[in-house]
Structures are given as structure tokens and as C-alpha cells.
């Protein structure tokens, strides 16, 4: 099994290498790919040194799977070229997510839609993944009508430059700015670029992607995305209206029994999800589960996950694992 990681030196690329190692994903040839300035440099993976190669050399190697974490423009240009030589691409960018010819996959929810013919597969937005993981068992049981979500997203979601800005500000050091304002001791209601409707691109991802993942447009999602001064982990306040009423005990049991979900919900002991405890974990943590007392059939909950792991790298590796386990990808 030949596997390429495109964007191997980036934040997600580094986590990708870690996740592949932890999950013992079987690889006979690892092909690290990065920008031209990194080509020729050495990188460590599974106890061995590997030389970073160019896009062209990676395509020539005909990897069986290529996991992309290098931005939308790069994916649009290069993913089809990998696919043309028989490689199955799993893309972390937003480039292909809403393309009607491409699948948008969270393995626990909809991996069964994948076929051998799917040569470019989209990984959802990090905030979307943790949201739909928490919503999926509840939607099956009670049928969602409307979701209102406010996100509290770490600077790692923006990238290395943003993490450095936060660290500089904490230390009182002047440096390059990833955001138009300071992020330390602040909250920016501005994730990604603003669109014509006044929502940011991030907010519209949260509105559109869940409908595609569930293959269901009978519910709607309204989102507000906020950047906060945490180094890692995204949090979400979720309000969801169902077509049917629910019992809180049953809601907790449904979530507890769902693979990939950990319920942390005991107000007597101040037990609830926090990004500092989600760090470096693959699960999605759910707590503060309570009825919305202002509206019938409506639930509030608090959802937290490591945005670089389940929100990106782990989900992509899980897709690769599913493809291999179900013979949808075989060594060329």
C-alpha cells in the first residue's frame, strides 16, 4: 500500500503522520509531499527518514491513496492529476465538499456511500465533523428540524501563523498577524472570509455540509463562528429542534452508545467537555445536555473535539481505513 501525504509539513500533516502511526495503518511506501521549498528535506515517519518529494514525483510514484492537507487551490489543481493515475484522493480542504459529483464523508455516519469509482473524496470541515457526530444518533431517533450552532474555535484552525500570533501576544512580543485584531484576551466573530449574505464562509460550511452528509435537506442549520484564544480544540453550543419530543435520559443513552462519542455531563461534579481535555484525543465530547425550556422538542448541548484530529487527520485516516478494509482501494 503506497500512501502519499500532501502538505506533510503543515499542522494537519504533522498530526496525520502521528495518527497513521498510532492506528498502525499498513504502508509499504510512504510518500511525503510538500511545497517546492520543502522538496529534498528529510522528514521522520514510523522511525525512518523520508525525503520530501514534489507533486510531479509523487504522481509518478502512483500512490494508492493520497491524503491532501494543502489548501483548496492546491487540491483543485492537483487532486485530479493524482486521480488520473488511479490514486484515491482524500481531501481535507473545502475544494470538493459541495461538488455534487464528490462524496462528503464522516465514516461513522455515511462511509457506506463510498465505491471504487470515488477517486476524490472530501473530508468535511472540522466544526462540521464534531457537530454531525453529535447530531447523527439524535436525528435518526427524533428527526431534526432546525439547528442553531455557535462555535468557539481555536487558533490552530487557522494555522501555524495564528498559533504564533497568540503565543507572541501572550509573551508581549510583536510579530506577524494572522488576524486583523489581537486574539489574546479577545474573541473574533470572524472565521474565514465574509460572504455577500453577511455570514462567513465557515458559517456557511456549517449550514450546508450537514445536509449533504445526512443526504437530507428537510432540516436547516444557522451558525455563528467565533475565534477564541485557545491553542487547540473547537467547542460548539448547539440548539436543536426536533419533530418529536424526547426524554433527556434517552438522549444521553443514545449519545453514550454511539461509537466516537464520549458523554461528559454531570453538573454536580462540574463535569463537562473542555478543549484542554479533548487535546490529542479522537473522540467527540458532549455535555451540558438539557432541554430548551423556551421551545417544545428542543435540546441544548455543548460539543467539543480536537479539530486537528477527528476534525481533520483522524477522519481522513478513518476514510482510508474503510477503503482498504472494504477492498475499495487495492495496491496498484
The C-alpha cell of 97 is what? Answer: 465538499
Q: Nearest 5°: phi and psi at 218?
A: -80, -10
Give me the sheet containing 120-122, strands edge to edge.
29-33, 2-6, 65-68, 88-91, 120-122, 103-104
DSSP string over 152-179: EE-GGGT-HHHHHHHHHHHHT-----SS
Question: pLDDT band for position 330 (50/70/90)?
Answer: confident
Residue 47 Cα distances to 7, 50, 51, 148, angstroms: 20, 10, 13, 45
Q: Does 191 participate in catalysis according to the annotation? A: no
Query: Closest Cα to residue 6, out of 27, 32, 26?
Result: 32
pLDDT at res. 230: 96
pLDDT at res. 33: 97
Query: Among the options 50, 126, 139, 191, which is catalytic?
Result: 126
Cβ(147)–Cβ(219) below 8 Å: yes
pLDDT at res. 331: 83
Task: Report d(CA 155, CA 326) in Å as an integer.
Answer: 36
pLDDT at res. 332: 75
CATH 3.40.50.720 fits 2-124+312-325, yes or no: yes
pLDDT at res. 69: 94
pTM of the entire predicted model? 0.96
155-184 pLDDT, tens digit each? 999 999 999 999 999 999 999 999 999 999
Query: Among the options 234, 250, 256, 279, which is catalytic?
Result: 234
What is the CATH number assigned to the segment(s) 127-307?
Answer: 3.30.360.10
Question: pLDDT band for position 123 (50/70/90)?
Answer: very high
Question: pLDDT band for position 60 (50/70/90)?
Answer: very high
Cβ(97)–Cβ(205) below 8 Å: yes
272-303 pLDDT, tens digit each? 999 999 999 999 999 999 999 999 999 999 99
29-48 pLDDT, tens digit each? 999 999 999 999 999 999 89
Cα radius of gyration (the chain): 20
Average pLDDT, the chain: 97
Tell me the domain boundaries of the chain.
2-124+312-325, 127-307
Q: Does 234 participate in catalysis according to the annotation? A: yes
Amino acid at each position: 500500500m503506497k500512501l502519499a501525504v500532501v502538505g506533510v509539513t503543515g499542522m494537519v500533516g504533522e498530526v496525520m503522520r502521528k495518527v497513521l502511526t498510532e492506528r498502525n495503518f499498513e504502508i509499504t511506501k510512504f510518500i511525503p509531499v510538500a511545497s517546492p521549498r520543502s522538496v529534498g528535506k528529510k522528514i521522520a515517519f514510523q522511525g525512518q527518514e523520508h525525503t520530501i518529494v514534489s507533486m510531479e514525483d509523487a504522481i509518478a510514484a502512483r500512490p494508492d491513496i493520497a491524503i491532501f492537507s494543502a489548501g483548496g487551490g492546491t487540491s483543485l489543481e492537483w487532486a485530479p492529476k493524482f486521480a488520473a493515475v488511479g490514486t484515491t484522493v482524500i481531501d481535507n480542504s473545502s475544494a470538493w465538499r459541495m461538488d455534487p459529483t464528490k462524496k462528503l464523508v464522516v465514516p461513522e455516519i455515511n462511509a457506506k456511500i463510498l465505491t471504487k469509482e470515488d477517486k476524490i473524496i472530501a473530508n468535511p470541515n472540522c466544526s462540521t465533523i464534531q457537530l454531525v457526530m453529535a447530531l447523527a444518533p439524535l436525528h435518526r431517533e427524533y428527526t431534526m428540524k432546525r439547528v442553531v450552532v455557535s462555535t468557539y474555535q481555536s487558533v490552530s484552525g487557522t494555522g501555524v501563523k495564528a498559533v504564533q500570533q497568540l503565543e507572541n501576544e501572550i509573551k508581549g512580543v510583536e510579530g506577524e498577524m494572522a488576524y486583523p485584531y489581537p486574539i489574546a484576551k479577545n474573541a473574533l466573530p470572524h472565521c474565514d472570509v465574509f460572504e455577500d449574505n453577511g455570514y462567513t464562509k465557515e458559517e456557511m460550511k456549517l449550514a450546508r455540509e450537514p445536509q449533504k452528509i445526512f443526504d437530507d435537506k428537510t432540516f436547516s442549520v444557522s451558525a455563528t463562528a467565533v475565534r477564541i484564544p485557545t491553542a487547540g480544540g473547537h467547542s460548539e453550543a448547539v440548539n436543536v429542534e426536533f419533530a418529536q419530543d424526547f426524554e433527556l435520559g434517552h438522549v444521553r443513552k443514545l449519545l453514550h452508545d454511539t461509537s466516537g462519542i464520549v458523554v461528559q455531563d454531570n453538573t454536580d461534579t462540574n463535569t463537562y467537555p473542555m478543549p484542554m481535555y479533548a487535546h490529542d484525543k479522537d473522540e467527540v465530547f458532549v455535555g451540558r445536555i438539557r432541554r430548551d425550556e423556551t421551545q417544545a422538542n428542543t435540546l441544548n448541548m455543548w460539543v467539543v473535539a480536537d479539530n486537528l484530529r477527528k476534525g481533520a487527520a483522524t477522519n481522513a485516516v478513518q476514510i482510508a481505513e474503510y477503503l482498504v478494509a472494504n477492498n475499495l482501494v487495492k495496491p496498484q
